[in-house]
Amino acid sequence: MQLRRYELNVHRINHIFISHLHGDHYLGLMGLLFTLHLQKRTAALHLYSHAGLDEIITVQLRYSKSVLNYPIIFHTLEKDKHEIIFEDDHLQVESIPLTHKLTCSGFLFREKPKARRIDKNRLPEGLLLQQLAALKMGDDIVDESGKVLYKNEDLTLSAKHSRSYAYCSDTAYEPMLIPLLEGVDLLYHEATFIEEDKLKAKETKHSTALEAAQIAKQAGVKKLALGHFSARYKDLSVLEEEAKTVFNNTVLATEGQTFSLEE
């Protein structure tokens, strides 16, 4: 319903990453799977989750006597493991072990290093395709004897920045995350409570806004987005303010918002 509300194209979704099996993190999935079926999807859909999601989905399909038009490919996440779980030419996704009541993983999305950009203003005429490819890879252009004809830096501009985004929900304060999150462009970190309700946070293995900000600060991330707020806070600015005392570049990730990361 929210995808439709924000006019996002569900057919562009090929991979879905589920952190853990508390209902607030996956109960909408079954509806989405059936919507894709009704809309005649045929392309495979990849689901990443800890053990159990495959069984939950299989049981629902079995008892509704449904066969989806498209295959689902389950990827079971390994408990407590930081590893690459998806990779293509442009992107890699890492699982990040989180500390929660259920086995839980966050996800770190990283663009791969990008090619250098050819500076069209300085490009001599008549270069071959493979010479242009060499330039993008950062190599000089050489003749058959290996003599440099053009130096790479004379014809190219630096590659664009490879962006990174980390999703950490749900988790208690976990300093082990700090080295994994180092320098990411945007960190989404849960902040279910404020310090005043710290006991509740400890009990339920959630974080306070201050703790999320400490992780952001120590990991040297560029921007922190807080989310997963307890319904007890009618005015969410208390969470934002608390985090900003430690990490100023903090925003509230409220429903429907978009964050752009600069290349």
Nearer to Zn ion, 161 or 232 (CB): 232
- The DSSP result for 141-196, as a single string, is EE-TT--EEE-HHHHEEPPPPPPEEEEE-S----TTHHHHTTT-SEEEEE--B-GG
- For Zn ion, what does the binding mask look like between residues 27 and 46, x meaning CB under 5 A? --------------------
Which residues is 46 bridged to in the sheet?
A: 15, 73
With contacts defined by CB under 5 A, how many residues of the chain interact with Zn ion? 3
In this complex, which beta carbon is closest to Zn ion, that of residue 95 or of residue 156?
95
Give the x/- contact pattern for Zn ion in 6-25, rule: CB under 5 A. Answer: ----------------x-x-
Write down the residue that tokens 């010479």 correspond to.
131
φ/ψ region of 71 (left if φ > 0, alpha if ψ in -120 to 50, else beta) reads: beta
Q: Candidates 31-39, 65-73, 111-119, 166-174: pick the segment binding Zn ion (CB under 5 A).
A: 166-174
The values of phi and psi at residue 96, to 5°, are -125, 125
Decide whether 24 or 154 has the Cβ nearer to Zn ion.
Answer: 24
Contacting range for Zn ion; rule: CB under 5 A; set: 91-99, 163-171, 234-242, 246-254: 163-171
* Site membership for Zn ion, residue 170 (CB under 5 A): yes
Q: Which segment (40-48, 87-95, 126-134, 170-178) binds Zn ion by CB under 5 A?
A: 170-178
139 catalytic residue (yes or no): no
Smallest distance, Å, CB 189 to Zn ion? 13
Rounded to a whole number of angstroms, the minimum distance from the CB of residue 21 to Zn ion is: 8
Name which of 174 and 185 has its Cβ closer to Zn ion.
Answer: 174
Name the H helices within the chain.
2-5, 29-38, 53-63, 129-136, 152-155, 177-180, 198-204, 209-219, 237-244
> Phi and psi dihedrals of 226, rounded to 5?
-95, 145
- Of 24 and 241, which has the nearer Cβ to Zn ion? 24
- Other CB atoms within a 10 A radius of the CB of residue 19 amount to 27
Q: Which stretch binds Zn ion (CB under 5 A): 84-92, 132-140, 167-175, 234-242?
A: 167-175
* Interface positions, 97-156, toward Zn ion (CB under 5 A): none
Binding mask of the shown chain, residues 188 to 227, with x at each position contacting Zn ion by CB under 5 A: ----------------------------------------
If the CB atoms of residues 110 and 228 are measured against Zn ion, the closer one turns out to be 228
Out of 24, 80, 119, 154, pick the active-site residue. 24
At 134, the amino acid letter reads A
Evaluated on CA atoms 138, 141, 145, 147, the torsion sign reads: negative
Burial class (CB in 10 A: 0-12, 13-18, 19+), 131: middle
Q: Name the residue number minimizing CB distance to Zn ion.
A: 22
Spell out the residues 6+ positions from residue 123 whose beta carbon is closer than 8 angstroms to its own: 155
Catalytic residues: 24
* Binding footprint of Zn ion on the chain (CB under 5 A): 22, 24, 170
